[in-house]
Amino acid sequence: MYAVLSHESACDALRLLYSAEKSPRVPRIPRGATRLARDVCVSGQRAFKAAHVAEALSGIGLTSRPADLLVPTQTSRSNGDEARFHVWGGIVPRESLLRVSDNLLVSGPELIIVQLCSTQGKLDSLLDAHVAAVRAEADVVTTLDREAKQVIDHPLEWERIRRLVAATVVACEFAGTYRLGVGSGKTAYHATRLLDACSLERAIAEVGKSQGTIRARRVGELMLEGSASPMETALALMLTLPVDFGGFGLERPRLNQAIGVRHLRETLSDRDVVTPDFLWQNQGVALEYDSAEFHAARGKGQLSRDAARANILTTAGYRVFRVTSQVARSLPRLSLLARQLACALDVELPEATPLQELRRHKLYLMLMPRA
């Protein structure tokens, strides 16, 4: 019997397994797209204990409960203190599971994104009653004060956006070089990238068309690869997510992409390449994020190296913008930065409606605490 770790539990498992720059060699299965085997999947609280799954989870440092596990059928599903079971009757893409031990399989990053997106289909029945209540409240406010212009966001629409953005944040993390801490653990840097848009698309194609894979494909369109920190992810998403989501709708930059400057080596540069945090190469614009915490994680001297890099970029003809944590932690200041970038990129920043402004505040509050 084996347990198939999934959803948030699988996220934490990958964070624990791949928090270092050198990744462990964990076998990936299956060799071809298949389905979960009914007779060998751990299902039920008793089977969870009998298969010694808790010991296997502890072996990789995962102690939080209940653990998220996949089961192939609804009849196999049960919830309790130790395990929370999710039905997965569809295709399991090739090499989408990690065999951590004889009795424990962990969903890979691509499969996790599809899983997170597949859970969104249960929202309608949960929120329809709340929608009616909000609308009734808005009608009362309008009746009492006809001058009031109350902005009401449809709870169902925002919840769909919120969950889609949450899955995109996870995708950016696994497509980047940092891992969020599990429990009281600290964020780890210089980690190996586990995901890219191409590998996600391959997994989606093998799973087949469903509401979950449609949303996962949208995540692939919104995610950015190469983020080196949680704040870089938060900044990148705030700047580039659609205005309807609460973002500023700017063109997506390349994150931490190397630029060759060997032609400047002898006189204007002391290195062959520079790697800006954000790069809009076609427009010749770069953005550097200055963070005391990130500099400490990267080691002493990082601040001076960043300054030298910015000088080389300027010499090479790029317009270099700088953003500090103080700017990032103020929505008005971040809005000013977005307008400045839009000017440099020679685009018009879309004017936000009152509803989009409300969502911008909600998106900001959602993303920034994670950073």
Q: Cα(135)–Cα(72) distance, rounded to whole angstroms?
A: 40
pTM given for the model:
0.90
Domain spans of the chain, in order of start: 3-108, 226-371
Cβ-Cβ contacts under 8 Å for 186 (sequence gap 6 or more):
none
Q: Going residue by residue through the chain (371 aa), what tens digit of pLDDT does each one get?
A: 899 999 999 999 999 999 988 788 899 999 999 999 888 899 888 899 999 999 999 999 999 999 999 999 888 777 788 999 999 999 999 999 999 999 999 999 999 999 999 976 555 555 555 556 566 656 655 555 555 567 888 888 999 999 999 999 999 999 999 999 999 899 999 999 999 999 999 999 999 999 999 999 999 999 999 999 999 999 999 999 999 999 999 999 999 999 999 888 878 888 889 999 999 999 999 999 987 555 455 555 566 777 888 899 999 999 999 999 889 999 999 999 999 999 999 999 988 999 999 999 999 999 997 65
Kind plus residue range of the DSSP H or E element containing 5: strand 3-5
Q: Identify whether the C-beta of residue 156 lies closer than 8 Å to the C-beta of residue 131.
A: yes
What pLDDT is stored for residue 148 in this prediction?
52
Cβ-Cβ contacts under 8 Å for 208 (sequence gap 6 or more):
90, 91
What pLDDT is stored for residue 77 in this prediction?
76
| Chain centre to alpha carbon of residue 62 | 20
| DSSP codes of every residue in 63-79 | --SSEEEEESSGGG--B
Cβ-Cβ contacts under 8 Å for 180 (sequence gap 6 or more):
15, 173, 187, 230, 370
Q: Alpha-carbon torsion 160, 162, 163, 167, what sign?
A: positive
What pLDDT is stored for residue 207 in this prediction?
96
Q: For residue 205, how many C-alpha atoms fall within 13 Å in the half-sphere facing its CB?
A: 6
What pLDDT is stored for residue 120 in this prediction?
60
Q: Cα(125)–Cα(112) distance, rounded to whole angstroms?
A: 24
